[in-house]
Amino acid sequence: MALHHLGPQHLIYAMSPDNAPVLTVRSGDTVAVETADCFENQIQSETQPFVAINWEHVNPATGPIYVEGAEPGDLLAVRIEKIEPGDHGVMTTGHDMGVFGDELADSTIRIVPIRDGRIEILGYSWPLNPMIGVIGTAPERASVANGTPGEHGGNMDCKLITEGATLVLPVHVPGALFALGDMHAAMGDGEVCSTGVEMPGRVTVTLTVLKAVDLPAPFLIDAERAVAIASCATLDEAAVQAAKSMAHWLQRRTGRMLAEIAILLSAKGDLRICQVVDPLKTIRMEFSKSWLSELGVDVEAMLA
């Protein structure tokens, strides 16, 4: 299949059916996508004032990409082949930012060097855990700002969206209009200060159209687990939606009673927070692939 390249000059600030595609690919093609960080690389110093940041140019995504053959009702499988980090990241927090914003009067910026596969911050060093914060397809009608997650994907800030994982997204418009950005060198579940270690870089993805495949979306598959992702106004609502999305899919695939699926998820599933700082909150429901096999579900075959 073909290998394409998409540069960071092609930035969008909302997932929208009105965005004109900047690259057209075939199903199964691979694309190397270069991204800016979530501040569009505006922060270059720990001492620069927050008022100097253009807040209209945050959470940019590179794209969109038109995938031939993708039609409304299909799914788009995004295999994350490789994440190549930039040479530094940025973290910020301050008044009205994140969980602690009501207690912080001033803004704080930290530049985070990235060297030899490690980050260095506040005198500590640890290995990179690179992931993609914003990744999605165009919604059916209204535009959604990149900072907001939803059923189309968007700013889910799920740290499992990383190398080796496949993210399944819905297709609402012809071509899907796929885009990604907001990479992090590292981020803990919750993203509680309002940022991860925000970085520019390059992501290589393979885009495959899935037709007549029964998977909820957004849905992630990696080496260990299958994951249903949901974003709602509250964590409670997102938790219910993520759990039910996984349960109803398992019920359809196995033919078991919902009560039995609920028991299995309560015994062997993990309901985890992705982020608590975006306009909608994001939760994921994880279920191990080994237990899917016990239930007779081959999720990898569904991606073929």
Query: What is the Cα–Cα distance from 302 to 304, expressed in whole angstroms?
Result: 6
Burial environment of residue 20 by CB neighbours within 10 A (0 to 12, 13 to 18, 19 or more): exposed
Mean pLDDT in the chain?
97
d(CA 139, CA 148): 12
Calculate the CA dihedral of residues 227, 228, 231, 233 and round it to 10 degrees: -110
Give the model's pLDDT for residue 235: 98
Distance CA 103, CA 100 (A): 6
Rounded Cα distance between 153 and 229, Å, is 9
Q: With cut-offs at 50, 70 and 90, classify the pLDDT of residue 128.
A: very high
Q: Which two tokens stand for residue 197?
A: 């270690």
Q: How confident is the model at residue 49 (pLDDT cuts 50, 70, 90)?
A: confident
Q: Which of 264, 272, 263, 262 is nearest to 294 (CA)?
A: 264
Length reported for the chain: 304
pLDDT of residue 77: 98
Q: Exposure pattern of 89-116 as b/e (b: 16+ CB <10 Å)?
A: bbbbbbeebbeeeeeeeeeebbebebee
Fold match flag (3-210 vs 219-303): no
Q: Is the pLDDT of residue 1 over 80?
A: no
Which CATH number applies to 219-303? 3.10.28.20
What pLDDT is attached to residue 52?
85
Give me 292's structure tokens: 């899917």
DSSP 207-239: EEEE-S----SSEEE-SSEEEEEEEESSHHHHH
Looking at the domain covering 3-210, what would its CATH class be? mainly beta
pLDDT tens-digit map of 240-277? 999 999 999 999 999 999 999 999 999 999 999 999 99
What's the mean pLDDT in 184-198?
97
User: Which of 153, 159, 203, 200 has its CA nearest to residue 177?
Assistant: 153
DSSP tag of 105: -
User: How many other β-carbons are positioned within 10 Å of the β-carbon of residue 49?
Assistant: 9
For residue range 161-170, list pLDDT tens digits in order: 999 999 999 9
Cα 27 to chain centroid distance, Å, stands at 20
Instruction: Compute the average pLDDT of residues 279-286.
Output: 98
Indicate yes or no: pTM above 0.75: yes
**Pairwise CA distance, residues 195 & 215, whole Å:** 30
Cβ neighbors of 154 (< 8 A, separation 6 or more) are 15, 134, 135, 136, 144, 146, 147, 148, 231
Instruction: Find the mean pLDDT for residues 144-169.
Output: 98
Listed by start position, the domains of the chain span: 3-210, 219-303
Note the pLDDT of residue 299: 96
Band of pLDDT at residue 302, cut at 50, 70 and 90? very high
Instruction: Tell me: pLDDT of 50 over 90.
Output: no
Give the confidence band of 51 by pLDDT, cuts at 50, 70, 90: confident
Residue 249, SS3 per DSSP: helix
Distance CA 232, CA 279 (A): 9
pLDDT of residue 270: 98
Q: Is 55's pLDDT higher than 80?
A: yes
